[in-house]
Amino acid sequence: MQNQQFASLDHIVEHNNINLNLKSASLQEPQQKHGKVVCGAIALFIIVLLLVIALVISIALVFTIGVKATRSDESSNTANSTSTILPVSPLFEPCNCGCPSVEPLFSDETAAATARIVNGETARAHSWPWQILLVMYDPETKLEYRCGATLLTQRHVLTAAHCVHGFFPPYMVLFSGQHARNLSISLIDVRVVNKVYIHESYNSHAHNDLAILTTEEPFRFDTYVSPICLATPNSLLLQANEELVAIGWGRISGQPETFIYPEYLQQVKVAYVPASNCSRILEPTTVLHPGQMCAGRPGHNACSGDSGGPLMRRMRLANTGTYYWQQMGVASLSKDCGWNSTWPDIYVNIPYYYDWIMATVKRAV
């Protein structure tokens, strides 16, 4: 820019000298008049020089302001873009969690237990909006495996470790807002798992049977998709025979070699079995781990395919009277789906692992 401006000044100076020489040669004016012309030319040169300097300064100012404005706009655009990206949500408080837009219904609300997943009851469509259908695919055997899971945040899903052990992204897919077991694929409802966090002490006995999955793209919360509230170590303790609810797309018959699955999501009311009572039922063949809990009724069980799904209780907010659902456990083990026994099912105890869940959600970003 400076070279162009200096070139312009040289051109102006040379042009004035030519004019002066032409006037001197043609008119033969006196020396005094010639001196005045020279002084005028110098004055004109100084004025032009000052104008050019002012022009250069103006252009520099305009350029500088323009750059700052551009950077300001870019920063503003970046800020605006960031604000539209869904952040990793914290775990929520009622009723930002656990409050379905569609109220769950049971066939007989007056009965203590009215349904079971085995030969059970179809849930009201979209009444459990935190329920996730987890599908794993083995590229070697070409086999597909399914489990349940629950939505904790827009990017974090809780399930059983045994469901995902041995599987790796991207062969793990999460379906939200799903009612039918037959997959209805929508880009809005499907998320691919990008990271898997299995409890560090998980073992083949299904002890510490927990895992958290994350997605690159966040889930979109709406009428059919929202998170569940988790029970904490400070939550009210469960009482013997307290009513709980389990849900899933697992087998509807415990009969051996019978693989009948429901068309739609099933729900079952079961009862909490205290650890001392459950241990007496399970021992000596099965020893209850401190992080495990029991729930069930004779003939009312979870079954294969329900693993990873939630065990829930209905809670009420004292200040508003609003009801919400709180996850107490994660479906883990079943003796025989109630086919030849009255054993309760074994679930992972959420309050026992609450600190691990929170720490994992915090680091799983």
DSSP string covering 217-237, please?
SPPPPBTTB-PPEE--TTSPP
pLDDT at residue 117 in the model: 61
Cα–Cα distance, 241 to 7 (Å, whole number)? 96
**pLDDT reading at 353 higher than 90:** yes
Q: pTM value?
A: 0.73
Cα–Cα distance, 339 to 320 (Å, whole number)? 43
- Of 84-98, 173-187, 342-356, where does the model show the most confidence? 342-356
Give yes or no: residues 345 and 196 share one domain: yes
Quick one: average pLDDT of 266-283? 93
- Of 20-24, 29-33, 140-144, 186-190, where does the model show the most confidence? 140-144
User: Residue 55 belongs to what domain range?
Assistant: 2-83
Cα–Cα distance, 299 to 312 (Å, whole number)? 19
Give yes or no: residues 146 and 292 share one domain: yes
pLDDT at residue 183 in the model: 81
Give yes or no: residues 244 and 127 share one domain: yes
Q: Is 365 or 322 the better-scoring residue by pLDDT?
A: 322
Count CA atoms within 13 Å of residue 354 on its CB side: 14
pLDDT at residue 41 in the model: 54
Q: Which residues contact 21 (CB under 8 A, 6 or more apart)?
A: none
pLDDT at residue 286 in the model: 87
Cα–Cα distance, 194 to 171 (Å, whole number)? 9
Give yes or no: residues 35 and 151 share one domain: no
Q: Which residues contact 145 (CB under 8 A, 6 or more apart)?
A: 135, 136, 137, 138, 163, 167
Tally of domains within the chain: 2
pLDDT at residue 81 in the model: 29
Give yes or no: residues 214 and 337 share one domain: yes
**pLDDT reading at 224 higher than 90:** yes
Q: Which of 294, 290, 289, 291 is nearest to 272 (CA)?
A: 294
Q: 135 burial class (0-12, 13-18, 19+ CB within 10 angstroms)?
A: middle
pLDDT at residue 23 in the model: 29
Give yes or no for a cis peptide into 170 (omega within 30° of 0): yes
User: Please, where are the H alpha helices in 204-339?
Assistant: 275-282
Cα–Cα distance, 288 to 343 (Å, whole number)? 13
CATH code: domain of residue 276:
2.40.10.10
Q: Is 216 or 27 the better-scoring residue by pLDDT?
A: 216
User: Please, where are the H alpha helices in the chain?
Assistant: 2-27, 31-84, 161-164, 275-282, 350-363
Give yes or no: residues 215 and 319 share one domain: yes
Of 1-5, 65-69, 135-139, 360-364, which range is least confident? 65-69
Give yes or no: residues 211 and 270 share one domain: yes
In a domain, 109, yes or no: no
* pLDDT tier, 55 (very low <50, low <70, confident <90, very high otherwise): very low
Domain end point (choices 56, 83, 110): 83
| End-to-end CA separation in angstroms for the chain | 49
Cα–Cα distance, 295 to 281 (Å, whole number)? 12
In a domain, 115, yes or no: no
How does the average pLDDT of the chain come out, rounded? Answer: 78
DSSP-based three-state secondary structure for 165? coil
In a domain, 299, yes or no: yes
User: Using alpha carbons only, what angle is made at residue 97 by residues 133 and 231, rounded to the nearest 5 degrees?
Assistant: 90
In a domain, 112, yes or no: no
Of 57-66, 151-160, 356-365, which range is least confident? 57-66
Quick one: average pLDDT of 189-213? 96
Quick one: average pLDDT of 143-165? 96
User: Using alpha carbons only, what angle is made at residue 150 by residues 149 and 152, rounded to the nearest 5 degrees?
Assistant: 140
Tens-place pLDDT, residues 81-120:
222 233 334 488 899 999 999 999 988 664 433 333 654 6
**pLDDT reading at 219 higher than 90:** yes
> What percent of the chain has a predicted confidence (pLDDT) above 90?
55
Pairing of strands 211-215, 345-349: unpaired
> What percent of the chain has a predicted confidence (pLDDT) above 70?
70
Give yes or no: residues 53 and 154 share one domain: no
